[in-house]
Amino acid sequence: MELSDAIRSRRSVRKYKSDPIPEQTIKELLELAAWAPSGMNTQPWLFVLVKGNDYLKDLSDRSRAFILAQMEDAPALKNYRSLLSNPDFNIFYGAPMLVLIFGSKNAFTYTNDCSMAALNLMLAAWDRGIGSCWIGFARGYCGAPACMKELNVPEGYELVAPVILGYPAVPPGQVARKEIRIISR
């Protein structure tokens, strides 16, 4: 796929087949993610791969509870209260895998760096017919100390980008883009 086609046609996918992504493909995707630029070339990313339907649903339930408990402090999420209260809502949409991209806090620009690695990952995945979606809902709980310990993430890292991957069950719909704001002088 042409790069410009991949950029234009990538969409957040929220309905997945259960088919697993081959190990070799996952390796390729992570290798491509790691070609992202990083401040002072620190390459501060750490990829945590999470699989298993039941475990992901459990993480989803814990993430929903975490957000609902903190709703008062995050007014931007208030519109999602009823969705997140639904025990059947899986924040990972039944995707067969979740990639949690953590950044080393020693690096000055780790949030920027890991975000770029995430976009590389999503575009490289789409180029192979694999859908993705950045799941901000997972950041609070999966980035909390108890969950990081459960996932064997060492001290000194912070969760930047939770990204689900899988083969789309249906082609993703179109999403409009706003008019681009440009200032030239």
Ligand X SMILES: Cc1cc2nc3c(=O)[nH]c(=O)nc-3n(C[C@H](O)[C@H](O)[C@H](O)COP(=O)(O)O)c2cc1C
Q: Between 147 and 176, how does the x/- string for binding to ligand X read (CB under 6 A)?
A: ----------------------------x-
**Residue with the CB atom nearest ligand X in the bound state:** 136
Stretch that binds ligand X, among 7-15, 46-54, 65-73, 94-102 (CB under 6 A): 7-15
Stretch that binds ligand X, among 8-16, 36-44, 48-56, 97-105 (CB under 6 A): 8-16
- Beta carbon of residue 14, minimum distance to ligand X (angstroms, whole number): 6
Q: C-alpha angle 73/74/76, rounded to 5°?
A: 155
Q: Binding residue for ligand X (CB under 6 A) from 45, 137, 157, 167?
A: 137
Q: Which of 140, 135, 146, 160 is nearest to 33 (CA)?
A: 160
Residues in the chain: 185
d(CA 185, CA 182): 10
Indicate whether 98 belongs to the interface with ligand X (CB under 6 A): no
What are the structure tokens assigned to 93, written together? Answer: 């949409």
CB atoms within 10 A of CB 168: 18
- Beta carbon of residue 63, minimum distance to ligand X (angstroms, whole number): 9
Alpha-carbon dihedral sign for residues 135, 20, 124, 29: positive
- Beta carbon of residue 132, minimum distance to ligand X (angstroms, whole number): 9
Indicate whether 64 belongs to the interface with ligand X (CB under 6 A): no
**Residue pair 167/16 in contact by the 8 Å Cβ criterion:** yes
**Residue pair 53/94 in contact by the 8 Å Cβ criterion:** yes
Q: Which of 98, 118, 13 is nearest to 53 (CA)?
A: 98
- Beta carbon of residue 24, minimum distance to ligand X (angstroms, whole number): 26
- Beta carbon of residue 89, minimum distance to ligand X (angstroms, whole number): 10
Count of residues interacting with ligand X (CB under 6 A) = 9
Residue 103 has φ and ψ, to the nearest 5°, of -115, 140
Residue closer to ligand X by CB (options 3, 175) is 175
Indicate whether 135 belongs to the interface with ligand X (CB under 6 A): yes
Binding residues for ligand X, per CB under 6 A? 11-12, 14, 133-137, 175
